[in-house]
Amino acid sequence: MDFQHALNGPETLQKPVGLQAFERHYTVAQLSKLWIFSESTIRRLFIKEPGVIKIAHQPTRVRRGYTSLRIPERIAQRVHRRLQSIS
């Protein structure tokens, strides 16, 4: 099932808590391609969004620190609806 179908179909209903771990999770790059926004815009939209999985990698002497995001489909749908209501 593609993302656009999920936004408009009956699948937008809340999933039971136990099944949320198995729902589709998007990377920043995947949502960037789907929504035709830059990766930095997607990151800004979701970095403080409740429910987004954030995996922080601490900096070392050799490598910089960074945070990986995994965005559950239901959270992406919520933000998409919010953005639609703004415009």
Q: What pLDDT digit, counting tens, does each position of 5-24 carry?
A: 444 444 445 556 666 778 99
The total of structural domains in the chain comes to 1
d(CA 24, CA 72): 6
Contact 80, 7 (CB under 8 A): yes
Structure tokens at 22: 């198995």
3 state SS of 15 = coil
Structure tokens at 10: 């009956």
Which range marks the domain in which residue 59 is found? 19-86
Backbone angles phi, psi at 55, to 5 degrees: -115, 110
Give domain status of residue 50, yes or no.
yes
pTM of the entire structure?
Answer: 0.72
Contact 7, 77 (CB under 8 A): yes
Give domain status of residue 67, yes or no.
yes
Give domain status of residue 6, yes or no.
no
Give domain status of residue 43, yes or no.
yes
Give domain status of residue 70, yes or no.
yes
Q: Is the model's pLDDT at 62 over the cut of 90?
A: yes
Give domain status of residue 78, yes or no.
yes
